[in-house]
A and B are shown apart, each in its own frame.
Chain A
Amino acid sequence: MPISNENIIVADDLTISYDLHRERKKLIALQDINLEIKKGEFVVLVGPSGCGKTSFINAVSGLIPKSGGSVKVRGEEVTAPGPDRAMVFQDYALLPWRTVESNIRLPYELQNLGISEEEKKQRVKNCLELVDLAGFEKSFPYELSGGMKQRVGIARALATNPDILLADEPFAAIDAMTREAMQAEMERIVMETGQTCVFITHSIDEAILLGDRVVVISYRPGKIKEIVNIDFPRPRMNNSEVKISKTYAELRDHIWNLVKDEAMQTTRGE
């Protein structure tokens, strides 16, 4: 799916801070973020733990208020969540008392999208097929493996046919082998649906394999350190040329050098 020239998400001097009530202080999580994301683009945010990547995604989704600057989706200031933006969570966030199908239908129950019951049924079916879970409609989340749970999470995010898919370390809790398979699925799904995707990860490999651009965020307060363009043709996942290419190694090394010092800092707790 080609990337259009139209900006869909625009962050302008976006600042997000949290109140630390006990210390009577304010912690700045993200400072002066300027980022323009084009329609159909796959943007990956990388950075050390606690650098404010999640805050950015939460601000785009409308879950948390901003303390300065603005973030606009299709030219409109974000004030609350909307059906045009869906999210995939690190811990899946599936309602354990609902079946797979019922979990995917949740967005339909919570908001009126003005679509018929027939259409809903068809969409649920399509979503399940897209994530390879046909036949598991009546299973409960606790009966599924981690990878399957996250597929349900992705299917639920796709149910409203959103323009923007926000993914907060979706594969962090999934084992390495399943993870590679899930990355391939993710690339395929986003290519098929033509969605704009903002994806957070700690894995540099994941960032290079999935992203059109990789945004490296610095540590405390989170600022954009560098934006790296990735130009490999898609699909990259089943293309063994990509991972063994010289460019790949160089990109990997470059991004690692950008995050290295700060990653070291977080491990020392400074």
Chain B
Amino acid sequence: MAKATEQIQYETDDPNRIQDVGWTFKEVWRRTRGFVVTSVNLIIFFILWEIVTTYGNINSLFLPKASAMFQELWVGMTTRAPEGAVFSGSILDHFLHSFTNLMTGLAIAMAIGIPGGLLMGGNKYVESILSPYVWALASLPRIALVPLFILFLGFTTTMQVTIIVISAVFPIVINAWAGVKTTEKSLLAAAKVFGANRVQLYYKVVLPYTLPFIISGIQQGIGRGLIGVVIAELFGGSNGLGYLIQRSADTFNTAMTFAVLLLLIVMSLSLINFTRWLEAKVAPWRNVNHL
């Protein structure tokens, strides 16, 4: 808030009030230090890993060399399985399968969760009818439902996507619901005084107010959805990153296992950072300081 106010130059101000200071080393460092520190930090981490696994007496079955992991990741991401192969050893194939499932699952979760949450926040009858089910399913560890879905749907992609949906939908519902409920009373009063009807109240006030809540629900949904992806593939299926983790561990290819884990971390962080960026973009007034 202060940042924006300081930049305003009033007509009555001394024209020299805001002075050009130019680029200093301090300023360059201030802008780039986050990136520089993180990069150096990670490079040192992987170098230490490499040193410990090379010179330490460590069984590569338990902890592979960092270079072996990166090599596995590179090879896995640049090759595809040949046409007609029964099983693919390519990370890219499995990644695409998992990623498509995750996106489909998230899209379905949003399509159900956003209108559902908005309705629950806006209508007390809908709220009292649905809330016991929402809380019951939200508090149930979703992994407990996996055997049931395997029974219903078999070892299919539909089963995997269903588990992702059921994992991701509740944070979205609950956040949208809470967003509607916490809409500032004075904003609603203002809209009413200036002539808003019920539909306009929703469209012009409640929905924009709730949007950042919905985005943070989606952000949590991504995390939960990823758990759903891996669980679904660990339990049932013959493709996806979860399956690849199990397969590579079973065949003592630990470097592959670590490569897939690294890929999962990168994928998860990228998606979550995207939603943070989106949140800051649609709701700059919230000025949230992220962890």
Q: Please list the residues of chain A having a beta carbon within 8 angstroms of any beta carbon in chain B.
A: 61, 63, 81-83, 85-87, 89-91, 93-97, 106-107, 109-111, 139-145, 156, 160
Contacts and interface: CB of A to CB of B under 8 A. Distances in A.
A110 B285 CA distance: 23
Interface of B: 1, 4-5, 8, 184, 186-187, 189-197, 200, 204-205, 208, 282-285, 287
A141 to B, nearest CB: 7
Contacts of B5: 143-145
Contacts, number: 74
Nearest to B4: A143
Given A95-B208, A110-B195, A142-B4, A89 B285 contact: no
A109 B193 contact: no
B4 A81 contact: no
A6 to B, nearest CB: 24
B99 to A, nearest CB: 32
A111 B205 CA distance: 15
A62 to B, nearest CB: 8
17 contacts: A81-B194, A87-B193, A89-B189, A93-B186, A93-B187, A94-B190, A96-B285, A97-B208, A97-B282, A109-B204, A110-B195, A110-B197, A140-B284, A141-B285, A142-B284, A142-B287, A143-B8
A81 B190 CA distance: 10
Top-3 shortest CB links A-B: A111-B195, A143-B4, A93-B190
A86 B4 CA distance: 30
- Give the secondary structure class of B's interface: helix
Contacts of A93: 184, 186-187, 189-190
A89 B190 contact: yes
Contact of A156 (B194, B200, B283, B287): B194
A61 B193 contact: yes
Contacts of A82: 195
Contacts of A144: 5
Given A95-B205, A142-B4, A110 B191 contact: yes
A75 to B, nearest CB: 21
A94 B191 CA distance: 10
B186 A110 contact: no
B283 A63 contact: no
Contacts of A61: 193
A107 B1 contact: no
A100 B200 CA distance: 20
Contacts of A156: 194
A167 to B, nearest CB: 12
A97 B194 contact: no
Given A140-B285, A143-B8, A86 B194 contact: yes
Contacts of B193: 61, 63, 81, 85-87
A107 B192 CA distance: 10
A140 B184 CA distance: 18
A142 B196 CA distance: 23
Nearest to A106: B194
A97 B203 CA distance: 13
Contacts of A139: 8
B160 to A, nearest CB: 37
Contact of A107 (B194, B282, B287): B194
Contacts of A160: 194
Given A95-B205, A107-B194, A110-B197, 10 more contacts: A61-B193, A63-B193, A81-B192, A87-B190, A89-B189, A94-B190, A95-B204, A109-B204, A111-B195, A140-B285
A97 B194 CA distance: 17
Given A81-B195, A109-B204, A143-B5, A97 B189 contact: no
